[in-house]
Amino acid sequence: MVSRPELKARLNDYFRFSRQELSGLAAAVIVLGLIFSFRDWGEEVFNLAIGLQHLVTIIIIIIFSLLFRLSCQKIYALSEGYKAEFKVWLMGLGISFIIVLLSLGRVPAALVGGMVVSFMIKQRLGEFRYGFSYWNNAMISYWGILGNLIAAILFAIGAYFAPESYFFTKGVLFNISMAVGALLPLPQLEGLSIFFGSIKLYCIAVLSVALGAVLLITGTKLGLITTIVIGSLTGIIYLLIGSEK
């Protein structure tokens, strides 16, 4: 991990979303919005007004969650001398939509895509072994999972104080679903990068998502507090062991 001034300089120079990324994100937001609002277009009878209201709410949740997730990955990537760009998986979005149709909305899948990492020669000078690192690549992907879990915790805090809120409850569901989908070891998803980078890290990611899902979706006070404590301790340990040049 580089020093704060160096990281700030890299963010100023390289932290941005390209047109290709934004177009991919737009496609993902529209399809995922339809998927996660599939069962919310009226309780017994189709209601266009209620459905559109829920769709807009879901889209806001997805935009926030995706931008937060990708920002976590881009920041970590730049700190290690890599450039990370989001690449949407259109077939994955199609598969997700088919799954939600076949399950009548009971299984909202989120197979979105992942980060494509490129080597930044100047920013990697002085790094251990200099060249491309599968471990760093795995960590960039892992930060996507962490981004979803952090966002899920934020939504869960809101859901605890406002348990009837559609916005907060759907926010938890979306981020957990996306984290689960991203863990699948497929070439277009980030689970494969984590698996090849470190099997131990992949197991940790699976356990983290499973534990987060159980503790957060239940909506209990104990589950929320436990998740926040575990997440805080993990962050503190990561900051303490992170090297600064």
SS3 84: strand
Of the candidates 179, 16, 31, 24, which has an alpha carbon nearest to the alpha carbon of residue 88? 24
Q: How high does pLDDT run on average in the chain?
A: 86
pLDDT tens sequence across 58-74: 999 999 999 999 999 99
Q: How far apart are CA 207 and CA 189, in angstroms?
A: 18
pLDDT tens sequence across 128-181: 556 677 888 899 999 999 999 999 999 998 988 888 899 999 999 999 999 999
pLDDT of residue 69: 95
Task: Place 229 in a pLDDT band, splitting at 50, 70 and 90.
Answer: confident
What are the structural domain ranges in the chain? 4-241
What single-letter DSSP state applies at residue 115? E
pLDDT of residue 243: 45
pLDDT tens sequence across 71-130: 999 999 998 888 999 999 999 999 999 999 999 889 999 999 999 988 877 766 666 556
**Do 167 and 63 touch, CB atoms closer than 8 A?**
no
pLDDT of residue 151: 93
